[in-house]
């Protein structure tokens, strides 16, 4: 039988263990606190109930420079004002919007993508959303130069930012609802003097965004600039259908816009997850000089429009005087 260890040995074995446990329990919280403090804190976005971002004025800031240059791969060549050497770009880039009762900081692409990590942002609508997206992608690329073009799920254009696992994309749906050109036919109603019709199914979303229901965490919708006779002339008008049948009596363009919006909003509320954050973006003023966009019209402005320079056009869209 093995001899029992002397009592003094137990003392020397137990004391070091007690000391180690004490040191472990004492130093671990300090280490954890230190490690936590070394990590970047999640930025907080100040929210002021008195802040109305839509009330304010434009000011120039000569120290403000573009956050990207003409080499951004998400630019469209014809719209790359930096590469095409548009006149007065330094003045144009110096304008910034200042709300009346709060401060609007310049976007921080690192902070933004950090907040949106592992999420997807989608834009659906016409060129107003598309043009915004192009500039937005170029700004976000500052935080992730490995960003690459992304065109999936029906997207017209977009980008994936692997450093943050964020996708930002645009789906072209100028009316939001599904529409197509139909050749002249006499089975629906009198089409005398018409070259055909553009059939608009007010209760069916455009195929370009019908398959994105569970993909995006944030969605921004818009429509408006295509609801005019410059896009759909009276020779090939918009004719509105519901449940596969034409709406009678036929709707005018603005009434058609209203029913499309009602039906698309109802579709979004019914089909998209409640957790998806949804925004609606309004129109911008039209600012062509010397003709419309398809009639040699040009944008010669170097400064924002004043309120008195804007008026509502025939189809409800703003034009310059």
Return the pLDDT at 190.
56
Average pLDDT, rounded, for the chain: 81
Tell me the mean pLDDT in the region 161-172.
98
Could you give the CA distance from residue 190 to residue 186 in angstroms, rounded to a whole number? 6
| More confidently predicted of 202 and 17 | 202
Helix H, strand E, coil C: the string for 189-245 is CCCCCCCEEEEEEEEEECCCCCCCCCCCCEEEECCCCCCCCCCCCCCCCEEEEECCE
Residue 169 dihedral angles phi and psi, to the nearest 5° = -145, 165
Residue 48 pLDDT greater than 70, yes or no: no
Hey, which residues does 60 pair with through a beta bridge?
A: 95
Mapped onto helix, strand or coil, the DSSP state of residue 286 is coil
Residue 222 pLDDT greater than 50, yes or no: yes
Domain ranges within the chain, ordered by starting residue: 52-106, 115-284, 285-321
27-36, 226-235, 273-282: segment of lowest average pLDDT: 27-36
- The reply to whether the predicted model has a pTM over 0.75 is yes
| More confidently predicted of 97 and 314 | 97
Residue 174 · residue 204 · CB < 8 Å: no
* Assigned token pair, 294: 């398809």
Tell me the mean pLDDT in the region 22-41.
38
> In this predicted model, what pLDDT tens digit does every residue of 262-278 receive, in sequence order?
999 999 999 999 999 99
Tell me the mean pLDDT in the region 156-175.
97
Residue 21 pLDDT greater than 80, yes or no: no
12-26, 34-48, 241-255, 296-310: segment of lowest average pLDDT: 12-26
Residue 218 · residue 169 · CB < 8 Å: no
* Assigned token pair, 267: 């579709």
| More confidently predicted of 283 and 229 | 229
> In this predicted model, what pLDDT tens digit does every residue of 101-151 receive, in sequence order?
888 889 999 999 999 999 999 999 999 999 999 999 999 999 999 999 999
């Amino acid at each position: 039988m093995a001899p029992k260890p002397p009592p003094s040995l137990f003392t020397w074995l137990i004391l070091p263990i007690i000391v180690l446990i004490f040191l472990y329990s004492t130093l671990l919280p300090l280490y954890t606190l230190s490690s936590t403090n070394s990590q970047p804190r999640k930025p907080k976005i100040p929210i002021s109930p008195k802040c109305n971002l839509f009330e304010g004025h434009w000011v120039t800031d000569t120290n403000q420079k573009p956050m990207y240059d003409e080499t951004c791969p998400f630019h469209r060549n014809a719209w790359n004002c930096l590469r095409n050497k548009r006149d007065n770009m330094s003045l144009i880039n110096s304008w910034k919007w200042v709300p009346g009762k709060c401060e609007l900081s310049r976007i921080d692409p690192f902070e933004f993508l950090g907040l949106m990590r592992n999420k997807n942002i989608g834009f659906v609508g016409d060129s107003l959303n598309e043009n915004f997206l192009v500039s937005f992608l170029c700004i976000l690329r500052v935080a992730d130069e490995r960003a690459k073009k992304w065109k999936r799920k029906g997207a017209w254009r977009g980008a994936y930012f692997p450093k943050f696992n964020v996708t930002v994309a645009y789906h072209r749906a100028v009316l939001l609802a599904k529409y197509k050109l139909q050749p002249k036919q006499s089975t629906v109603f009198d089409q005398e003097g018409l070259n055909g019709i553009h059939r608009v199914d007010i209760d069916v979303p455009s195929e370009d965004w019908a398959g994105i229901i569970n993909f995006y965490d944030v969605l921004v919708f818009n429509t408006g600039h295509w609801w005019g006779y410059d896009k759909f002339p009276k020779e090939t008008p918009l004719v509105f259908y519901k449940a596969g049948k034409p709406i009678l009596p036929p709707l005018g363009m603005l009434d058609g816009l209203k029913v499309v919006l009602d039906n698309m909003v109802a579709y979004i509320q019914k089909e998209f997850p409640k957790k998806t954050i949804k925004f609606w973006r309004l129109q911008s003023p039209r600012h062509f000089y010397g003709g419309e966009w398809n009639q040699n019209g040009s944008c010669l402005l170097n400064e924002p429009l004043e309120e008195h320079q804007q008026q509502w056009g025939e189809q409800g869209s703003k034009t310059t005087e």
